Structure 1
Amino acid sequence: MRPFKRYFVTGLLIWVPLVITIWVLTLLIDTLESVVPEFLSSQALFGLRIPGFRIVFVLLVLFGTGLLAANYLGRAVVDRWELLLGRIPLVRSIYNSVKQVSDTVLAPDGQAFREAVLVQYPRAGSWTIAFLTGAPGGEVARMLQGDFVSVYVPTTPNPTSGFFLMMPRGDVHKLDMTVDAALKYIVSMGVVAPAEPAALPVASGKPDGPDGAPPQAGA
């Protein structure tokens, strides 16, 4: 039974990532295709079903919209459209919230989700990986005393849900790892450990670490 178990586990290790990858891609494709109405499908336009037609259509619409919004006339049309949506009570709240989040996360020069950090959560002495999302602002920033940053603590194995925290900057420790490596570490529940960074020459003397710094290996 031992060889059978070994071969079975080996087969799982090969097929499980492949099946999950195909499932995620299928879900993404189905979601994009559902955006295109039926009267714009290849069946309605050309009388035959063309695989991937709706995906190409969505990509062309996105590219065309970006191209249109890049000039003055297109920007004016977009501004008028957003002004119209901003006058509809329920739509205004949803649209403005989603737009602010997307503008912050997807901005090329933005800092949201660009850096992985280490924080103590849910209690002192317990450490988890989080992502820096910015800094508190408005009334919240006026109520907080000191220098605070905003972080997102994802859950595992599903990082799309999590917790939004505002923590003192001194309690947030930057990690020398990419966001992709941090996400793999979170999704795998700590099984896929990130590669260690290249060792740097240690200066003479023992530097004083900040209060609440994470424990060092070999300490």
Structure 2
Amino acid sequence: MKGQEWYQTAEVAEEYDEKRFSRGGRLIDRREKRAVLEAIGPVDGERVLEIACGTGRFTVMLAERGADITGLDISEAMLQEGREKAHAAGVDDHLEFMRGDAARLPFPDDHFDVVFAMRFFHLADTPAKFLTEMARVSKDVVFFDTFNARSTRSLYNWLLPMGSRLYTRGQVERLVDGANLSLAGAEHDFILPYGFYRKIPDWVADPIRNLDVSVVDTPVGQPLASVSYWRTSV
């Protein structure tokens, strides 16, 4: 996994949310949470697994909506941030955070109703193995996002210290087929890469985002989207 050692440090975990989801990054957080909720539907009473849960921003959100949710991550420091977030939200008795390897999930087949991963596959060194494991433990929905090869993300990628794995639609479709999943839906968003929004204040980000949305909703804009959300079924 790219950046594994960097990702697991306490310093990175403590600053993770502030660096990525403050300023203009708040609108990214809102959009990603909406994408998750739209893809997996009502979760009250559903058994859910989040892969690479990080600081638990989705895990806690779904626990607040009644999910029986487990958040798995390789970083103990990130998990500790998640536990503190869950305690502050009053849902720490309704979810579980556990350290583990997404390539060898410690759960039986068909254990969860929903399995999802956000901000994960761009760092995955063996994406087929990870997606196959996600499919194995889900009995219904598998949801994930990717960063796209034919987009502004490819330019921004040069500036990243770790780089990111970028995907074409064809590559995603082959991954889905290889995991014996069926593609049930896809959304494409963000002409401008995430890093751009994180560098600007809210009052600048919001009108630029409105323009971004108007472009990505056109036939010309969709192929240029830097992020795709993929809903698949078992």
In the superposition, the TM-score normalised over structure 2's length comes to: 0.21
Give the structure, 1 or 2, with the largest relative contact order (CA under 8 Å, sep 6 or more): 2
> By percentage of residues, which structure has more strand?
2
